[in-house]
Amino acid sequence: MPFGYHGCYLRVDVSTGCSQRVPLLDAVMREYIGGSGLGARLLLDKNAAIVDPLSPEAPLIFAFSPLVGSPLTTSAKFAVVSKSPLTGRFNDSLASSGFAISGKRAGCDAIVIVGRALALSVLVIDDGDVRLEPAEDVRGDTCAVAEETLRARLGADYQIAAIGPAGERGVRYATISHDGRHAGRGGSGAVLGSKNIKAIAVRGTQRTEWAHPRELTDLSRDLSKRSFGPATAKYRELGTATNLLTFNRFGTLPTRNFQSGTFEEAESLSPEQLGVAHARTRASCVACTIGCEHIYSLGDKGVRLEYESLFALGSLCGVGDGDVVLRASRRCDELGIDTISTGGTIAFAMECVERGLLDAPWLQFGSGDAMMKAIELIGSREGIGDMLAEGSRRAAAIIGHDTIAFAPQVKGLEIPGYEPRGLQTMALGFAVGARGADHNRSGAYDVDFSDKVDRRNATLESVRHAIDTEDKAALMDSLILCKFLRRVLEDFHAESAAMLRAVTGWDVTADELRETAQRIVAAKRQFNLLAGWTLTEDTLPDRFLNTPLPDDPAASLSRERLQELVAEYHRQRGW
């Protein structure tokens, strides 16, 4: 067995409370590493693609990596992997917290949960020993309150991941929360809720050893030093929210359900302006030297605010009031719902109202009160919220009138804050993404903002760049390391190989890791094929095809051009 691993995963059937340790083959560990890669392999092994994601048989996987617990900066991360109840396709959500370290110290490289508990329960994993405890006392509690209550009951040394009311009620984009951070996209919280599990509590003492401790220490010190350099400076100083004004300036800030790429009130949502009215503090994830988190004061609590929440609950819904956006972001966190899908689905409904296709006259672009009301209704699944809790693709099917043409989604996953017509390499990344439109699985926007391509006029040359960013993301999500390190690592594959070699003892090379990344991307595609994927899914909504951006006529993407790009993508992939 290689260093850095326990060599097994823990399988828990919450229907019976029974658990078993299942060995992992050395070849599987080397070929898929951990995180998203290992999760994809386990999903395939368990035939998860052909079952209902909300059925008891559907597995929900918490996957760690050999780097978790090491001194490497940003390595305290884990992946939550399942079939998505929102898209019906592969889903992986990554997050950073002490849960990753404690989960791995429980003596396993992954936790695989199946079944459905007889009553709402807490799954407790204590150094590998498993039990279920009642959770009726935290039913309906927000994520943070549930975590606080359970930690007081179980002990302060437990790390707890919990769902909010939205996960209990099966909102299809519900999250799993832990220490204020979320495994956010694709509805993993709904999967956990379908198993009648309110929370998972883990602690452990079982550490793994490193193959080359001295070399690992040297690598860690060097990486930590570089991670605190100019490549990450803007995120330390203002956080990811600093992207908002940049995107607005380039005309690529999605506004009013992607009807425009500029927002006239963008300045009021900038971190500089938010910082005037709200005290701002910085924080870091566990085992991270970058410190990109910015927490804004709001009453007696702070609100973590990232660019994606700022765009989705701000410009996308036409809301320019910073106080409202902060309150909306905090409420999404409390309920346990993904801010991107929440904002995207609400913005879609607002446009349906605007067009006279949905009878909810109160739901208007620019109304902060309307957005807050819609969030509450989604969390409770009451009234119109029951439809909106299904996501924009299912809502479009209910509303009809060809509203799917402007539902802001790919494969059912709402589009993040990048206007595809003005960022066309990113548009390709969205179209072909295994879990749908996803800026974390394709960093092609970096290419669009470089001199490598014309961001408004993608050519076949753009395809290899999209593939390269997708492969790098797959590798980082399996190692698992923060995406912000991609600008820190000067020779990405060689340095990644050096880290993995120091941890595991494998004689891994840069070329091997390139092949590993391609294998992981192919595994996700294989899952989708088994789940029913067809080539027609690799596209964008009609809104983005043959209709230029109103405020940037040069930003136009034809259906024919996108089809050419997708075909070339598949050709280069060998599919």
Backbone angles phi, psi at 474, to 5 degrees: -60, -40
**CA–CA gap between residue 14 and residue 166 (Å, rounded):** 20
What is the DSSP code (8-state) at residue 49? G
| Helices and strands per DSSP (H, E), number in the chain | 22, 17
Confidence grade of residue 232 (pLDDT, cut at 50, 70, 90): confident
Domain ranges of the chain: 8-203, 228-414
Question: Pairing relation of β-strands 8-13 and 110-114?
Answer: parallel
CA distances from 430 to 211, 314, 412, 433, 467 (A): 39, 21, 12, 5, 12
Question: Which position has the token pair 């690598």?
Answer: 219
Q: Which residues of 374-385 are buried (b: 16+ CB within 10 A; e: fewer)?
A: bbebbbbbeebb
**Residues constituting the chain:** 575
Alpha-carbon torsion, ordered 42, 43, 45, 50, to 10 deg? 170
pLDDT of residue 296: 86
Segment 432-479, tens digit of pLDDT: 999 999 998 888 989 999 999 999 999 999 999 999 999 999 999 999
The answer to whether 518 and 259 are in contact (CB under 8 A) is no
CA distances from 567 to 263, 287, 436, 439, 575 (A): 34, 41, 17, 21, 10
Q: Does the domain made of 228-414 have the CATH classification 3.40.228.10? A: no
Tokens representing residue 417 in the block? 């804050």
3-state SS of 482-525 is CHHHHHCCCCHHHHHHHHHHHHHCCCCCHHHHHHHHHHHHHHHH
Q: pLDDT at residue 261 above 80?
A: yes
Exposed / middle / buried, residue 211 (Cβ in 10 Å: 0-12, 13-18, 19+): middle
Which of these ranges, 416-425, 471-480, 485-494, has the smallest mean pLDDT? 485-494
Segment 307-360, tens digit of pLDDT: 999 999 999 999 999 999 999 999 999 999 999 999 999 999 999 999 999 999
Q: Is the dihedral of CA 318, 449, 73, 69 positive or negative?
A: positive
**CA–CA gap between residue 572 and residue 190 (Å, rounded):** 36
Q: pLDDT at residue 235 above 80?
A: no
pLDDT of residue 20: 97
The answer to whether 227 and 71 are in contact (CB under 8 A) is no
Segment 201-212, tens digit of pLDDT: 999 999 999 999
As a CATH number, domain 8-203 is 3.60.9.10
**CA–CA gap between residue 476 and residue 240 (Å, rounded):** 19
Confidence grade of residue 525 (pLDDT, cut at 50, 70, 90): very high
Segment 27-68, tens digit of pLDDT: 999 999 999 999 999 999 999 999 999 999 999 999 999 999
What region, left, alpha or beta, does residue 319 occupy, with left being phi > 0 and alpha being psi -120 to 50 degrees? beta
CA distances from 118 to 84, 197, 504 (A): 23, 10, 41
The answer to whether 562 and 543 are in contact (CB under 8 A) is no
Contacts of 336 (CB under 8 A, 6+ apart): 142, 143, 162, 163, 164, 165, 166, 167, 174, 175, 176, 177, 182, 189
Same fold for the pair 8-203 and 228-414: no
pTM (2 d.p.):
0.97
- Cβ count near 450 (within 10 Å): 11
